[in-house]
Amino acid sequence: MENQFKLLGVRRFLPLFVTQFFGALNDNVLKNAMVILIAFQGTRMSSVAPELMVNVCAGLFILPFFLFSATSGQLADKYEKSHLIRLVKLLEIGIMLIAAVGFWLPNLACLLVALFLMGLHSTLFGPLKYSILPQHLHENEMIGGNALVESGTFLAILLGTILGGSLIALGEYGAHLASVACMTIAIAGYLASRSIPLAPAPEPDLAVNWNPLSETWRNLAALKQNRAVFLAILGISWFWFYGAIFLSQFPAYAKDYLGGSEGVVTLLLAIFSVGIGAGSLLCEKLSGQKIEPGLVPLGSIGLTVFALDLWLASPHAGALGLNVTQFLSAPNSWRVLFDLTMIGIFGGFYCVPLYALMQTRSEASHRSRVIAANNILNAAFMVAAALLAIALLSCGATVPQIFLLTAVINAGIAAYIYSVTPEYLNRFIAWIFRRN
């Protein structure tokens, strides 16, 4: 492969890429359409306060990762993966039928059921998506393949968030259009999945343990036996913690500190997502088409340095309700956008090699279960991020101070990982000398 984009022209990658892109897109169209609908019409559908229901939605989507990740990992190790992916995509179509009923009536219960089931869909699809890559890609393609998947995922998050909110904002028929969009995306994802090549089961004789608690515990305990994989997963989970902290604070940050309107919130999300996508795609060139742990320290340095500068650059809002054009003319606006872009870029440097390490250094027979355990820890870290942010805000911390604390914690986490696993730091130093 001359570069990672050539993978988009081969059958062993393109159908999977398109399938996962549509899956992530649908997740976010549904979630954001629901959140906007509840925020503006929640009192018509339920007596529960809309602010509370929005948080219930977030919890419902993430709950399946705790309940079903262990089972999904076992199924992905036991059965042929392309067939399982098609079944998961058929499930998505069924889920969108339930969501359509919820949007058309409108009925909050149907929407909540659909959201929970989409969380289940993502739980089932995650181990399949990441464990099939090493079966279809050569080792020198793993960085490029993971980079495309990560950049595609964040682009899908951005587009889905914008599309879901934009459709609901169309008024009387917005919810109807959102249901049509979700169904169309689900069908497109299924059609793409039909072209994914076979990926034989690594352990077809596996006896599935259907008890999620005992299997989750066993998976997490097994992780510690492979220290390199365990630390890579901790690093990935920390990245999701870091990202969750930033993404969850964008609305308040844009309104209270940048003086921006809803359009500025979307701009921040777009800049952050594009940054991660760009950083992910740059990994292949910087690593020389091989898995390069030396990029991880580079990424962690950038995550701390630019978060610190974002804290320094954060103003106290003067004017309020600025649109995007007005915001871009405000003092420090370009510095804030630059910092968020660089945080995204260095986040790509940080997470893509860790995903590749997790995939290639885990045993093929247990790879899907390892990825399932990763998903459990990712979910736990994101919940912890939400709880920490709530606690800090309740204690009077400002959003820029939360960014500062996250930067400091990131430096501490990085120092710990590199002290117990010198490979990252040694490879970083060697990478610098090679570049010179």
Which pLDDT tens digit goes with each residue over 96-114? 999 999 999 888 899 999 9
How many residues are recorded in the chain?
436
Give dist(CA 392, CA 112) in Å, integer. 29
| Banded pLDDT at 317 (limits 50, 70, 90) | low
Give dist(CA 246, CA 382) in Å, integer. 11
pLDDT at 225 over 70: yes
Residue 216's alpha-carbon distances to 65, 67, 204, 247, in angstroms, are 11, 9, 20, 28
| Banded pLDDT at 50 (limits 50, 70, 90) | low
Average pLDDT, the chain: 90
User: Which phi and psi angles does 366 have, rounded to 5°?
Assistant: -120, 10
Q: What percent of the chain has pLDDT over 90?
A: 63
Asked, for residue 367, whether it belongs to a domain, the answer is yes
Q: What percent of the chain has pLDDT over 70?
A: 96
| Weakest-pLDDT range from 188-202, 234-248, 280-294 | 280-294
Asked, for residue 210, whether it belongs to a domain, the answer is no
CATH number at residue 430: 1.20.1250.20
Give dist(CA 124, CA 120) in Å, integer. 6
Task: Give burial (CB, 10 Å; 0-12/13-18/19+) of 263.
Answer: middle
Task: Give burial (CB, 10 Å; 0-12/13-18/19+) of 89.
Answer: buried
Q: What is the DSSP string of 314-341?
A: PPPP-S-SB-HHHHHTSTTHHHHHHHHH
Same domain, 245 and 312: yes
Instruction: Name every residue whose Cβ is closer than 8 Å to that of residue 211 and which is 6 or more positions away in sequence.
Output: none
Q: Which domain holds residue 326?
A: 224-436
Same domain, 238 and 358: yes
Asked if 137 and 12 touch (Cβ cutoff 8 Å), the reply is yes
Asked, for residue 380, whether it belongs to a domain, the answer is yes
Same domain, 307 and 263: yes
Task: Give burial (CB, 10 Å; 0-12/13-18/19+) of 408.
Answer: middle
Asked if 246 and 403 touch (Cβ cutoff 8 Å), the reply is yes
- Render pLDDT for 113-132 as a digit per residue (tens, 0 to 9): 999 999 999 999 999 999 99
User: What three-state secondary structure class fits 343?
Assistant: helix
Asked if 375 and 64 touch (Cβ cutoff 8 Å), the reply is no
Mean pLDDT of 189-218: 93
| Weakest-pLDDT range from 7-16, 340-349, 416-425 | 416-425
Mean pLDDT of 71-82: 96
329 vs 44: which has the higher pLDDT: 329
| Banded pLDDT at 434 (limits 50, 70, 90) | confident
User: Which phi and psi angles does 173 have, rounded to 5°?
Assistant: -100, 10
Asked, for residue 429, whether it belongs to a domain, the answer is yes
Asked, for residue 74, whether it belongs to a domain, the answer is yes
Give dist(CA 148, CA 281) in Å, integer. 7
Q: Using alpha carbons only, what angle is made at residue 132 by residues 378 and 24, rounded to the nearest 5 degrees?
A: 50
SS3 content of the chain, % helix, strand, coil (to 5): 80, 0, 15
Same domain, 182 and 270: no
- Render pLDDT for 27-37 as a digit per residue (tens, 0 to 9): 999 998 988 88
Give dist(CA 236, CA 233) in Å, integer. 5
Give dist(CA 269, CA 155) in Å, integer. 10
Same domain, 175 and 324: no
Instruction: Name every residue whose Cβ is closer than 8 Å to that of residue 73 and which is 6 or more positions away in sequence.
Output: 127, 219, 368, 369, 370, 371, 372, 373
Asked if 303 and 343 touch (Cβ cutoff 8 Å), the reply is yes
**ω before 106 within 30° of 0 (cis)?**
yes
pLDDT at 277 over 60: yes
Give dist(CA 193, CA 241) in Å, integer. 30
Give dist(CA 384, CA 20) in Å, integer. 26
pLDDT at 381 over 60: yes
Q: What is the pLDDT of residue 431?
A: 87
pLDDT at 343 over 50: yes
Give dist(CA 281, CA 283) in Å, integer. 5
pLDDT at 391 over 50: yes
Asked, for residue 35, whether it belongs to a domain, the answer is yes
Structure tokens at 419: 């002290």
Asked, for residue 147, whether it belongs to a domain, the answer is yes
Structure tokens at 289: 């088409």
Task: Give burial (CB, 10 Å; 0-12/13-18/19+) of 428.
Answer: buried
Same domain, 288 and 434: yes
Same domain, 182 and 120: yes
pLDDT at 319 over 70: no
Asked, for residue 202, whether it belongs to a domain, the answer is no
Total number of domains in the chain:
2
Asked if 128 and 372 touch (Cβ cutoff 8 Å), the reply is no
Structure tokens at 157: 């998050």
pTM for the complete prediction? 0.88
- Give the burial string for 163-180 (b: 16+ CB within 10 Å, else e): bbbbbbeeeeebbebbbe
Same domain, 166 and 266: no
Mean pLDDT of 300-324: 88
Same domain, 271 and 140: no
Same domain, 111 and 256: no
Same domain, 181 and 267: no
Same domain, 118 and 259: no
pLDDT at 1 over 70: no
Q: What is the pLDDT of residue 298?
A: 94
